[in-house]
Chain A
Amino acid sequence: MSLTDLLILLRQDLNQTFRFVGTGRRSEQKSVFRRFLGPIIAIVVAVVIILAVTWIVPLIGWNTIAALISQNLAIGSTLFNIILLFSFIGSIMVSATTVANSQRMEYLMTMPISLRTLFLEKTIIIIVYSSLLWLVIGTPLIIGFAIVSPLPLAFLAIISYLVFMLVLVTIGVAFGGLLGLLFSRIVAGRRRLRQVGYFLMSTLAILFSVIWYYFLYSSEDSALFEWFFQLAEQIGLTSDLTPGYSVSVIILGLLVGADFGLIQILVVGVYALFAGGLAYLNAVVSEKAHYSGWLMSGSKRSSKEEIVIEHEPWDPQPIPGFTFNKTISASIWYNITNVRRESRVFARYLMGPLQFVIFFFIPVLTNPEGMGFFTPFLIIAALIPFSTSYGLYFAGYETVYEGRNLLNLQLAATNMEDYVRGKIYSAVPFTIAASSLVGVLILLVYVSFWFYIPLIIGAAVFTNLASGAVAANAAAIGGDFKAQRMVTRQRGSSVQMPIRGWSILRAQLLPNVIGYLGTFSMIILGLSLGAPFAYLALPIYGVLCWQIMRHYSRSAGLALARIEASEYL
């Protein structure tokens, strides 16, 4: 393996995403401004953050803040552990996905490099993408503090932050990748197990990280690592060995001039080595996985025996009890089948919202007595990201991933509005399942809330419908219809979204605004005027959502038809 190879690969990979150089006359030209928009926004955000810090800190007084920080050097440990945790959750299946889709990299695989080098490069690219957010938000914060800090060494904190942040992201990404690969190995060649297994695995991994996070948050000496810390203490190391803690102590220590021990630097060094080792191991295992074919898709023919196949007349009625027109039915059926077939995608979609929900539950879990009355509200609040995300995934992402196929459908004179509706409806069964589960949860913690449970389920479904349409529309406008061509945007990988720019913001923000406002207005109405009033408001909310759904699915349909007419998907 040579570093030069790695650098050439990286440069070309980045060049494909951040294209600053113009192209020939056939290609759609973006203006110079548009091409540099991303970096410009990042710089503007950075400058704003730096200015804000340098303005606010003197207002409060540097000494107050410095004292506060040096007394609680561990305060940042939660924040830094979040970096690790999010990178981990985001990349659980990412290596497995990369290997499974390696046919898309055939031109790279015939180059005179080992596949290990290639997979290492892909891991690095994923690390780079996963760290962008922390780079744009975290760096200016530290820069701001370094500017106001009177300490000469404070600027070292900036460099430490950059390096340590990469270490944390690397651990998260590489560990997540390895876990996914390990799992693929376990279920390799077992179709049924694979279906169920991928699903359970992704779910467990997310749950595990939630629990882990909870322990980190709720106690300084994490219970989960207790045995580890005890061991460490016995051999003379202090506790608090989580990566986030050590990193936090050094960075904040540099900023405010608080002491940190040599041991902390050592620990971070060990973590850095560990990160590098994990990333390399990830590449090695990916290479093995590729050659052994664990991840071979089962879709290709692999048996020569003649199997008698009877084709039934095809008339899908995907949601029992409802009759839709043919286009809608086919669309629902196709969407669900398509998502379900790849269980890692399915799991990602169904369980993904848990990441947001973590935040809602932390206060409840860490302080159950104090939250008492608010608990059911928090649970309801936690449900809403599920209804909105299911809309985003099933109607938004899937519209994008269907890509070229949409073109064929339009040639077949399919009504795109109906087709979009099908995608929107396809998320409803899952929303009902999720909200029923939430209903049970509420019954367990707060029985007197039982009256609101049907309301909550109804509201969730309506929110879901509206969200799906908003997301589908955003996808039609700002979808990257060739998302599959990039490792980080492929189906089932959650590093980058298949919808770009402002569109993804719209697709995520608007539905949540609708969901929270609507649902809580009804509940507040119920609590203040009497529960039946909430139910009186439900139809109004329903009609509102239905109108939103109709409006946006129509406009999504039109936008898709326009794309077909003007440019190849």
Chain B
Amino acid sequence: MIEAQELTKKFNEFTAVDHLSFTVSPGETYALLGPNGSGKSTTMRMLLGLLRPTEGTARISGHDIRKDIVAAKRVMGYVPEEPVLPERLTGWEYVNYVADMWRIERGAEREEEIDELLTLLDIRDASDDLIETYSKGMARKIGLIAALVHRPKVLILDEFQAGIDPRGAATIKEVLNGLSSRGATVLMSTHILEIAEQMADRIGIIQEGRMVAEGTMDQLRQKAKGQASLEEIFLDLTGGPDMQMIAQYLGDAGDEG
């Protein structure tokens, strides 16, 4: 369960997240959508204790992130936008490192489970290589496995699909659906609107750190006065491309080429 209350983050005078409140219940998948720089990652980073909110707070499975961030972290799994991983460890070592930190008992059972995850995401044969040799997608997959290995109650995924092959993305989607139907809370951000449409029970659209619309697909459709697709809704709410500028640029570029 995630309950964000008036979360606010300021970097100097610049407000990246502006009194954002939302709730994600157990078993629910919630997608945060918004243009680049609208504050999605910053929101997630506050929930994870990487940044401290300037104002407001949040509760993760009942643990206030301001008062007991360690307890909150214990129930969360996080897949960052840009995975920063220990490059000099092998994938296998890293996942076990994470499992150790969460005090998952060592033994055959744990190893089997990790093996299963590695096989599921097709990176078992690279698991003994140093992470620095991984491709971008492989690193993300290891990051995802590390986030899943301690069976988190709350999963936070920042653009999990970026750089992942279709098979991997489909697998992850299935895994996430399975976890969520077993009661996990899933918060994700994505720029691929089909993913949000397919997976999310509810969607929050933010712009300049503020929630501009929130609800199920049906509720959003109503709000956007009959727009059919999420893309249309999104562009309607956050502004579409500047056709005039594009034409001007293409005109300029055309002169040269």
Interface residue ranges, A against B (CB under 8 Å): 5, 8, 12, 15-17, 19, 23-27, 103-107, 109-115, 189, 291-293, 296, 300-304, 482, 485
- Using Cβ atoms and an 8 Å threshold, which residues of chain A touch B12? 189, 302-303
Listed A/B pairs (15) with beta-carbon separation below 8 Å = A8-B100, A16-B88, A24-B90, A24-B129, A25-B128, A26-B130, A109-B50, A110-B78, A112-B74, A114-B69, A292-B52, A293-B51, A302-B12, A302-B14, A485-B87
Known A15-B93, A27-B129, A111-B101: A302·B11 in contact at CB below 8 Å: yes
Chain A residues contacting B86 (CB-CB under 8 Å) are 12, 16, 107, 485
Q: Quote the shortest CB–CB distance from B87 to chain A (angstroms).
A: 5
Q: Indicate whether A482 sits within 8 Å of B132 (C-beta atoms), given known contacts A26-B126, A113-B70.
A: yes
Is there contact, CB below 8 Å, between A26 and B69?
no
Q: How far is the CB of B98 from chain A (nearest CB, A)?
A: 7
- Contact check: which of B74, B84, B126 meets A103 at CB < 8 Å? B84
- Chain B residue with Cβ nearest A4: B103
Per-residue A-contact encoding for B29-69, CB less than 8 Å = 1, 0 else = 00000000000000000001111100000000000000001
In the complex, number of A-B residue pairs with CB atoms less than 8 Å apart: 97
How long is the Cα–Cα vector from A189 to B143 in the complex, in angstroms?
34
CB of B100 within 8 A of CB of A107, answer no
Interface centre among A109, A110, A300 (most CB of B within 10 A): A110
Chain B residues, Cβ within 8 Å of A107: 80, 83-86, 143, 146
Closest residue on chain A to residue B83 by CB atoms: A107
Q: State which of A23, A105, A112, A300 has its C-beta within 8 Å of the C-beta of B130.
A: A23
Q: Does B89 contact A (CB under 8 A)?
A: yes
B22 at the interface (CB under 8 A from A): no
15 more CB-based (< 8 A) A-B contacts, given A113-B101, A302-B12: A5-B101, A8-B97, A16-B88, A23-B90, A23-B129, A24-B130, A106-B84, A110-B48, A110-B78, A111-B73, A111-B102, A291-B51, A296-B11, A303-B13, A485-B88
What is the CB-to-nearest-CB distance from B104 to chain A, in angstroms, rounded to a whole number? 12
List the 10 closest pairs (A to B, CB-CB), nearest first.
Answer: A24-B128, A24-B129, A16-B88, A112-B74, A26-B129, A291-B52, A26-B133, A27-B130, A112-B73, A302-B12
A303 CA to B10 CA, complexed, in Å = 11
- Per-position contact with A for B86-122: 1 when CB-CB < 8 Å, else 0? 1111100100011011100000000000000000000
Complex CA gap A407/B55 in Å reads 43
Contacts of A304 in B (CB 8 A): 14
Which residues of B lie under 8 Å from residue A482 when comparing CB positions?
A: 87, 132
User: Are B128 and A23 in contact (CB-based, < 8 A)?
Assistant: yes
Contact with A along B124-144 (1 / 0, CB 8 A): 001111101100000000010
Q: Are B102 and A112 in contact, CB atoms less than 8 angstroms apart?
A: yes
Is the Cβ of A114 less than 8 Å from the Cβ of B70? yes
A61 to chain B: closest CB distance in Å? 50
Nearest CB in chain A: distance from B86 CB, A:
6
Q: Which residue of A lies closest to B11 (CB)?
A: A302
Q: Is the CB of A302 within 8 A of B13?
A: yes
**Nearest opposing residue in chain A for B82, CB measure:** A106
Residues of B contacting A25 with CB < 8 Å?
A: 128-129
Bound form: Cα–Cα A301–B11 in Å: 9
How far, in angstroms, from A5 to B70 measured CA to CA in the complex? Answer: 12
Q: Is the CB of A8 within 8 A of B84?
A: no
How many of chain B's residues have a CB under 8 angstroms from any CB in A?
40
A19 touches B88 (CB 8 A): yes
- Which chain A residue has the least Cβ–Cβ distance from B97? A12
Chain B residues lying within 8 Å of A27, measured Cβ to Cβ, are: 90, 129-130, 132-133
Q: How far is the CB of A7 from chain B (nearest CB, A)?
A: 10
Q: Decide if A301 touches B14 in the complex (CB within 8 Å).
A: yes
Whether A303 touches B101, Cβ cut-off 8 Å, given contacts A12-B89, A107-B85, A485-B87, is no
B157 contacts chain A at the CB level, 8 A cutoff:
no
Closest to B76 in A: A110
Smallest CB-CB separation from A303: which chain B residue? B14
Which B residues lie within 8 Å of A291 (CB)? 51-52
Q: How far is the CA of A113 from the CA of B90 in the complex (A)?
A: 22
- Residues of chain A lying within 8 A (CB to CB) of residue B98: 111
Contacting residues, chain B, for A485 (C-beta < 8 A):
86-88
Give the residues in chain B near A8, CB-CB below 8 Å.
97, 100-101
A479 to B143, CA, bound (A): 28
CA distance A7 to B98 in the complex (A): 13
User: Which B residues touch A292, using CB under 8 A?
Assistant: 52
Closest to B12 in A: A302
Shortest distance between the CB of B56 and any CB in chain A (Å):
15
User: Beyond A302-B11, A302-B12, A482-B87, is A110–B133 a contact (Cβ under 8 Å)?
Assistant: no
- For residue B78, which residues in chain A have a CB less than 8 angstroms away from its CB? 110
Q: How far is the CA of A303 from the CA of B70 in the complex (A)?
A: 32
Minimum CB–CB distance from A20 to chain B (whole Å) comes to 12
Instruction: State A185–B27 Cα separation when bound (angstroms).
Output: 44
Contacts of A109 in B (CB 8 A): 48-50
Q: Judge whether A15 and B89 touch: CB under 8 Å.
A: yes
Q: Please indicate the chain A residues that have their CB under 8 angstroms from the CB of B127 in the complex.
A: 24
Residues in A neighbouring B90, C-beta threshold 8 A: 23-24, 27
A16–B89 contact, CB under 8 A? yes
Cβ of B48: which chain A residues have Cβ within 8 Å of it?
Answer: 109-110
CA gap between A5 and B97 in the complex, in Å: 11
- Chain A residues whose C-beta falls within 8 Å of the C-beta of B80 in the assembled complex: 106-107
A106: which B residues are within 8 A, CB to CB?
50, 80, 84
Taken together as a complex, chains A and B put the C-alpha atoms of A26 and B11 apart, in Å, by 41
Q: How far is the CA of A110 from the CA of B11 in the complex (A)?
A: 21
Once bound together, how far apart are the Cα atoms of A15 and B90, in whole Å? 11
CB distance from B243 to the nearest CB of A (A): 21
Residues from chain B with Cβ under 8 Å of A24 in the complex: 90, 126-130
CB-nearest residue of chain A to B125: A24
Most buried by B among A19, A107, A296, A482: A107
In the complex, the answer to whether A17 meets B88 with C-beta atoms within 8 Å is yes
List the B residue with the shortest CB-CB distance to A7.
Answer: B100
Cα distance, A300 to B51, chains bound together (Å): 15
Complex CA gap A300/B9 in Å reads 15
A86, B166: Cα distance in complex, Å: 54
Task: Quote the shortest CB–CB distance from B82 to chain A (angstroms).
Answer: 9
CB–CB A112/B85 < 8 A: no
Q: In the assembled complex, which residues on chain A have CB atoms less than 8 Å from the CB atom of B83?
A: 107
| Contacting residues, chain B, for A115 (C-beta < 8 A) | 49
A25 to B129 alpha-carbon distance, docked (Å): 7
Minimum C-beta distance from A201 to chain B (A): 22
Task: Specify which chain A residues have a CB less than 8 angstroms from the CB of B13 in the assembled complex.
Answer: 302-303
Cβ–Cβ < 8 Å partners of B100 in chain A: 8
CB B139 to nearest CB in A, in angstroms, measures: 11
- Chain B hits for A293, CB < 8 A: 11, 51
Which of B12, B51, B80 has the most C-beta atoms of chain A within 10 angstroms of its own C-beta? B12
A16 to chain B: closest residue by CB:
B88
Q: Which of A105, A110, A300 contacts B49 (CB 8 A)?
A: A110
- B11: min CB distance to chain A, Å: 5
Least CB separation from B14: chain A residue: A302
